[in-house]
A and B are shown apart, each in its own frame.
Chain A
Amino acid sequence: MARELITGNGAAGYVLAQAGEANRSARGCCCGAYPITPQTEIIEYLRGFEFAKGRVVPVESEHSAMAVCIGASLGGARAFTASSANGLAYMAENVFAAGYFRLPIVMIAVNRTLGPPWNIWADQGDSLALRDAAWVQFYVESHQELVDTILMAFRIAEDSRVMLPVMVCMDGFIVSHTQMVVDLPEQQQVDAYLPTCSIPHRLNVDRPATVGGLAWPRETEHMRHEIQQAMERVPAVLEEARGEFEQVFGRRPHGVMSAEYVDEAETVVVASNTIARTVRNVIEQRRVGGEAIGLVSAKLFRPFPRDAIRAALHDKRRVAVLDRNHSPGSGGIFWQEIAATLQGCDVEVLQDYVVGLGGGDVTPDVVNRIIDDLVKRETSAEPVWEEVTA
């Protein structure tokens, strides 16, 4: 294991390449690559990597980047790509196709504001717009978590109980372009951690199936139900992936979420990606001052880990959800999920704060302001807009 000072994009490119390389004794790997800020360094890294058995195809659009991954995956190979914002939106049709085809493709989504207006900074609205595309989705806090989650993503995606694509989402710039010291795996560790990729429904001249053609409602309903069942198996498969990870790499990565100081707290803040780190710092300071506030750092968004969320939050007095994303006409998207999950529980105040859209800097001051507001609330209101740059 090497400890290196590296950017989020550098680390993502490095780990994707190793994962691809780890399939060299099977059918190899392939990536359809197209640039968009703040993801571009990932595909640049991959284009420069000398794969023993793999190819990175420089395509003309994100739509085709995913289509190349679909073709490679249908050919039985390990496939991966990365994109952001309008790239993800342009790719969308094939993002859904990859999910419905049940192909274990891994994609890094570097979260960026969907334009217009043209804004390249962090906002989760791009990947969350794809939440219904039959992809497993993880949101990561840090560079190290990014590395660990990408490795687990391949295991989960390719697990025969799951067979679904996985998206690993990080904050644009805040993670993608900053450097941190990270434990990077060696190739032989990745080889040991990732079994070679085996796709049961890959196209095969000896078994001439037509994949993805016309289907009647009954068969379609059944296929969709199977996807739901596969999603429901993800938390258990993730637990196994963590256990194996610890054996190979000697540290235990995150699970479906991280609940911290929650047991003794009446007030809990839910956040994801790097905002969760800022919240953690603020909460730790306020605990020194005697306030019992807990944190739920949400990581797995699809499938939504309802059991874990309910267990952590069902008896809390006040819960705040911080959303760096927004569904116009409704509110924050994590909040919608948590509100649905906590139906029938005793939570008195469940307050959504839409904060940091378009990359607004969610500083400790902003988080303190939110917590000050939260602890005074007796009832929840409509989503609160916390404009950090006001």
Chain B
Amino acid sequence: MSIALTTADQPCEHILRAGNTNCAGCGMSLGLQLLEQGLDGARPTLAIPACCGIVTAGAFPTSGYGVPVAATTFASSAAVATGLSTIAELNEETEPVICWAGDGGTYDIGLATLSAAAERNENIIYICYDNEIYGNTGGQRSSATPEGVRTTTTPKGKCEVKKDIMRIMTAHRIPYAATLSIAHREDFLQKIRTAAATRGFRFLLLLSPCPTGWKSEPDESVDLIEYAVRCGLFPLYEVFDGERYRVNVRPDGTPLEEYTSRQRRYTSADVDLGHLQSEILKQWRLLDGLCNAFPAEGKMAGRAPKRN
């Protein structure tokens, strides 16, 4: 039965094999390598919906992944992962089940599925690599696309604001939620370790540069994320049980232009940097308020799943 075959199905020490199909400078490439390092030798099973992340595997019968992968329908990764992790649990297998999904599969078409898996506190690590567009289909808008940004379906710049998926996910009071930066390796690895050591639903958001869609230089991808964190656009923080907050890196006054001027997607006349800057300040007022009111102190244990 040929659906079952992958010629490269001998064990491989890496999650992401050399020779995959990612564009140069794709945030996924570094993201998957850091994921592997953070997992400290654990061998995950991945559920990947329709997105660039499944094209990464390349064409049958080869695979760019060195771990088992279920290529799911676009909206279904969290539900397929529910089935996989349920059977793993019933068989006392402890290797993690991880969803690796784009923003389209997370913020848009897969949101109901994701919300339901989070509400049930399934034993899954869900990682959204957020490139803020539908990369696989050629760079259309998603509800993760920032205000003002040009995509193939927002040729004059997007009118609406980016959806705050972290607030949505933490509102489910999942055991662990955190943001990840490919420019902050130690922070990234620490969060993967925390996620791996926690049971129940864990949500990780990775801002993932996409030189192809962002119209940026492939060799500047890591720098871009560094600027995004330093100017405060992409806060690095963790939330335990949806109610205890910790900020990991504070903005240092780096101007937003350092980030936007290196991406031609930000060249629409509608991009208003002053407005975007005031949105960043608002975001930090909210986050600081939450951190002060509900601080995460010491070692946090997440809410373990209950089953009956």
- Contacting residues, chain A, for B84 (C-beta < 8 A): 71-72, 74-75, 203
- Given known pairs A53-B90, A208-B66, A215-B59, the reply for A32 and B71 (CB within 8 Å) is no
Q: Contact between B86 and A30 (Cβ–Cβ < 8 Å)?
A: yes
Chain A: CB-nearest residue to B6: A209
CB distance from B51 to the nearest CB of A (A): 12
Q: Contact between B95 and A73 (Cβ–Cβ < 8 Å)?
A: no
Q: Contact between A210 and B79 (Cβ–Cβ < 8 Å)?
A: no
Q: Contact between A214 and B59 (Cβ–Cβ < 8 Å)?
A: yes
Q: Contact between B60 and A71 (Cβ–Cβ < 8 Å)?
A: no
CB distance from A33 to the nearest CB of B (A): 12
Interface residue? A250 (CB, 8 A): no
Q: What are the interface flags for A32-58 relative to B under an 8 Å C-beta threshold, 1 for contact and 0 otherwise?
A: 100000000000000000000111011
Interface residue from A68, A200, A216 paired with B60 (Cβ < 8 Å): A216
- Given known pairs A200-B4, A208-B12, A210-B63, the reply for A55 and B69 (CB within 8 Å) is no
In the complex, A300→B1 CA distance in Å? 24
- Contacting residues, chain B, for A71 (C-beta < 8 A): 47, 70, 79-87
CB distance from A165 to the nearest CB of B (A): 13
Q: Contact between A55 and B57 (Cβ–Cβ < 8 Å)?
A: no
Interface residue? A211 (CB, 8 A): yes
Q: Contact between A74 and B65 (Cβ–Cβ < 8 Å)?
A: no
In the complex, A389→B280 CA distance in Å? 65
Chain B positions within 8 Å of A, measured between CB atoms, are 1-6, 9, 11-12, 43, 45, 47, 54-55, 57-61, 63, 65-73, 75-76, 78-88, 90-91, 95, 112-113, 115-116, 120, 307
In the complex, A75→B67 CA distance in Å? 14
- Contacting residues, chain B, for A163 (C-beta < 8 A): 1
Interface residue? A226 (CB, 8 A): yes
- In the assembled complex, 14 residue pairs joining A and B whose CB atoms fall closer than 8 Å, in A order, are A59-B82, A64-B116, A67-B76, A67-B83, A69-B83, A71-B80, A74-B70, A97-B76, A102-B4, A203-B69, A210-B63, A210-B68, A213-B54, A214-B55
**Most A-side CB within 10 Å, residue of B4, B55, B85, B91:** B4
In the complex, A64→B78 CA distance in Å? 9
Chain A positions within 8 Å of B, measured between CB atoms, are 27-28, 30, 32, 53-55, 57-61, 63-65, 67-77, 79, 93-94, 97, 100-102, 163, 200-201, 203-216, 219, 222-223, 226
Interface residue from A68, A77, A102, A209 paired with B80 (Cβ < 8 Å): A68
Q: Contact between B60 and A76 (Cβ–Cβ < 8 Å)?
A: no
In the complex, A30→B113 CA distance in Å? 17
Q: Contact between B2 and A223 (Cβ–Cβ < 8 Å)?
A: yes
Q: Contact between A214 and B80 (Cβ–Cβ < 8 Å)?
A: no
- Contacting residues, chain A, for B63 (C-beta < 8 A): 208-210, 213
Q: Contact between B82 and A211 (Cβ–Cβ < 8 Å)?
A: no
Q: Contact between B83 and A74 (Cβ–Cβ < 8 Å)?
A: yes
- Given known pairs A55-B307, A68-B82, the reply for A28 and B91 (CB within 8 Å) is yes
Q: Contact between B3 and A79 (Cβ–Cβ < 8 Å)?
A: no
- Contacting residues, chain A, for B12 (C-beta < 8 A): 208
Q: Contact between B69 and A213 (Cβ–Cβ < 8 Å)?
A: yes
In the complex, A93→B109 CA distance in Å? 13
Chain B: CB-nearest residue to A60: B116
**Most A-side CB within 10 Å, residue of B12, B47, B70:** B70
In the complex, A61→B90 CA distance in Å? 23
Q: Contact between A208 and B113 (Cβ–Cβ < 8 Å)?
A: no
In the complex, A222→B61 CA distance in Å? 12
CB distance from B63 to the nearest CB of A (A): 4
Q: Contact between B60 and A219 (Cβ–Cβ < 8 Å)?
A: yes
Q: Contact between A74 and B80 (Cβ–Cβ < 8 Å)?
A: yes
Q: Contact between B88 and A214 (Cβ–Cβ < 8 Å)?
A: no
- Contacting residues, chain A, for B45 (C-beta < 8 A): 203, 205
In the complex, A10→B50 CA distance in Å? 38
Chain A: CB-nearest residue to B115: A60
Interface residue from A30, A210, A226 paired with B83 (Cβ < 8 Å): A30
Q: Contact between B4 and A201 (Cβ–Cβ < 8 Å)?
A: yes
In the complex, A205→B12 CA distance in Å? 10
Chain B: CB-nearest residue to A69: B83
- Given known pairs A71-B81, A203-B68, A208-B9, the reply for A97 and B73 (CB within 8 Å) is yes
Q: Contact between A210 and B65 (Cβ–Cβ < 8 Å)?
A: yes
- Contacting residues, chain B, for A205 (C-beta < 8 A): 43, 45, 67-68, 95
- Contacting residues, chain B, for A226 (C-beta < 8 A): 1-2
**Most B-side CB within 10 Å, residue of A55, A61, A69, A208:** A208
Q: Contact between B60 and A208 (Cβ–Cβ < 8 Å)?
A: no
- Contacting residues, chain B, for A207 (C-beta < 8 A): 9, 11, 68
Chain B: CB-nearest residue to A75: B87
In the complex, A74→B73 CA distance in Å? 14
Q: Contact between A70 and B113 (Cβ–Cβ < 8 Å)?
A: no
Q: Contact between A213 and B60 (Cβ–Cβ < 8 Å)?
A: yes
In the complex, A28→B81 CA distance in Å? 16
- Contacting residues, chain A, for B116 (C-beta < 8 A): 59-61, 64
In the complex, A32→B83 CA distance in Å? 8
- Given known pairs A70-B72, A70-B83, A213-B69, the reply for A60 and B3 (CB within 8 Å) is no
- Contacting residues, chain A, for B85 (C-beta < 8 A): 71
Q: Besides A27-B87, A208-B69, 17 other CB < 8 A contacts?
A: A32-B82, A57-B86, A59-B82, A63-B73, A63-B75, A65-B79, A71-B82, A72-B86, A75-B86, A75-B88, A77-B90, A97-B72, A208-B6, A210-B60, A210-B71, A213-B57, A214-B54
CB distance from A125 to the nearest CB of B (A): 23
In the complex, A372→B24 CA distance in Å? 74
Chain B: CB-nearest residue to A56: B86
- Contacting residues, chain A, for B75 (C-beta < 8 A): 63, 93
In the complex, A322→B200 CA distance in Å? 52
In the complex, A205→B90 CA distance in Å? 16
- Contacting residues, chain A, for B4 (C-beta < 8 A): 102, 200-201, 209, 211
In the complex, A245→B273 CA distance in Å? 73
In the complex, A264→B234 CA distance in Å? 80
Interface residue from B60, B82, B87 paired with A215 (Cβ < 8 Å): B60
Please name the 4 residue pairs, one residue from A and one from B, whose CB atoms are nearest each other, closest first.
A71-B83, A201-B4, A75-B87, A67-B79
Chain A: CB-nearest residue to B62: A210
In the complex, A305→B54 CA distance in Å? 38
